[in-house]
A and B are shown apart, each in its own frame.
Chain A
Amino acid sequence: MRLILAILGGLLFVAAMVIWASLTPIDGLPTGAAHPDIPHMSIGGDAAARSLPLLLPIYFWQVGVIVTACLLLLLGIAPRRRTGAVVIGVGCVGLVCIAVWTGLIVSYRDVLLSGETPYALGFPVTTAWMNYGIWLSLAGFTGLYVWGFKRFIHTDEDEAAFQAIVAANLAAQDEADT
């Protein structure tokens, strides 16, 4: 029950950050505008004017989403198997995700302040953080699932109990048929 309340708390925190971002006054084009010369294309306009004031609420918004996601993943594990090691495992992947997100925001702020960017793997560095970093850091949860499947998702004990239910179910059906 406490985990559910923590998830609710996480969602309320995200909502609060959304409200903070919504109430922050910005200049420029909040959601872009049509490209002046080319149809079916848009532009973002003055990046610093529209994005710098929002960096902080947006940063904490995503941190809230990552923390809430970690809590949701823990909710998917049976309470008796939510050991300290499991919580640490999910927490470590969550921290890596937050670290990558921090790298993205810091490099984005640098671009906004300087107007220039270095490139990495075909994209501006801050975009590379998103294209490669966000994706791969979140994939850590998949690694955790594969590694922990027999340990805390579906143990041999769970499988035996499940097979017993299936067998009992089949026996009851056979009895009903005859």
Chain B
Amino acid sequence: MEAYRQPIILACVGIYMLLSIGVGIWAIRRTKSASDFFVAGRSLGPIVVGMAVFSSTLSGFGFVGGPGLVYNTGLSSVWMVVCSSLGYAIGFFLVAKRVRMISEVRETISLPDVLAVRYSSETVRLLTGIVILIGVLGYLATQILAMALVLQSILAATEMFAGIGLITCALISLSVLVFYSFTGGIIASVYTDLVQGLVMMVAGVMVVFTAMTVFDGGLAEASRIIFADDPETIMPFGTLGMAASLAWFFMFGLGLAGQPHVVTKFMMNRNVSDARAIMPISLVGYMISAMLWVTIGVVMHAAVLGGLLNPLTGADQAAPEFLNLFANPLLAGIVFAGLFCGDNVDGGCVPEHRRGSLHSRYSEGDTWTSVEE
């Protein structure tokens, strides 16, 4: 199987890209109104929503950027992850039920809609839209960069595409992403999120077991190697120190509840009471998947310090290199494919911006009632 590593990985990614396009086409048939397009007609079950919430929270950044940050700065960035329990709690206690109820009663389909209804103000809607637009631009860019980096890492290992550029990879990834999210709307997005969530959970568990076999002494051996080089790197606050780590905890722990791609998903469940199941599903999925963030970063850091590997050309190469070098080809292929779901690039953020233009596409004859009415 090792001899066919690259073809297997390429096949997994290719199949996944085709699957995404297929989901987009399938979703077109299910999308008959603006409500379908933006909030899936509020018809999704708790498992689908729960998986979509966590996979869009963790996202491609968690797969590529997370291990890269651990490689670069030790465990500082893990505070972004361990605060997720608090972030979900605040999101569900404060926001989920209320947003779902407003969504049904006032036919809202986005976060600006909800706030406009709450404060009876079009200015609030405009300001919220502007804030989201500014806020997500950088975030979207990192997601697209993550996809492009992974694609480049896969293709560069083949003879035919050895010299492929990052921009080309970004364009290929974006083409698939734009196709299925624009045609299929949020239905396509959440079902690809569902698949991505499953992939991330399986990958999280398998990667941990793989990582434990890299060193004879398992993760403890990797920790000892790092401790011997620079103790702070493997201490809880990493190389960035206590204040920076806790600033991340504060920002993500209290801020997760306000992320537009998460709040939008709170509107999609069939019943208000589904929130009771969605929250633990999201949290458990997140916890299992995020093990990948810590273990890959620690093992790759120790592998370079211990002389198993040459220094990486960039910190973000930690995850792709780990998968290429240590993971079973099929596992690597599945994880790489999971990254091409597009996660929150296609998720809740995009509808906030395209709501105006696409509303007209579906408004004729549907039951969408604008907030102003």
Which residues of A pack against B, CB within 8 Å?
14, 18, 21-22, 30-33, 35, 38-45, 47, 50-51, 54, 58, 61-62, 65, 68-69, 72-73, 75-77, 104, 108, 111, 115, 117, 119, 122-124, 126-127, 129-131, 134-139, 141-142, 145-146, 149-150, 153-154, 159, 162, 165-166, 169, 173
Contacts and interface: CB of A to CB of B under 8 A. Distances in A.
B209 interface: no
Contacts of B311: 38-41
Given A69-B89, A142-B92, 16 more contacts: A14-B250, A40-B314, A42-B72, A44-B241, A65-B250, A65-B253, A73-B89, A73-B93, A75-B94, A111-B235, A130-B75, A130-B78, A141-B85, A141-B86, A153-B97, A159-B272
Contact of A111 (B218, B231, B367): B231
A31 B101 CA distance: 45
B243 A44 contact: no
Instruction: Across the A-B interface, give the 8 residue pairs with the lowest CB-CB distance, nearest first.
Output: A44-B232, A122-B219, A76-B93, A138-B85, A32-B239, A141-B89, A76-B94, A130-B236
A33 B95 CA distance: 40
B184 interface: no
A119 B93 contact: no
A51 B190 CA distance: 44
A129 B238 contact: no
Interface stretch (B23-31, B117-125, B274-282, B337-345): B274-282
Nearest to A93: B89
Contacts, number: 206
In this complex, the member of B78, B81, B231, B250 whose beta carbon has the largest number of chain A beta carbons within 10 angstroms is B231
B105 to A, nearest CB: 6
Contacts of A104: 236
Nearest to A137: B85
A51 B237 contact: yes
Contacts of B304: 38, 41
Contact of A159 (B212, B273, B287): B273
Interface in B70-84: 71-75, 78-79, 81-84
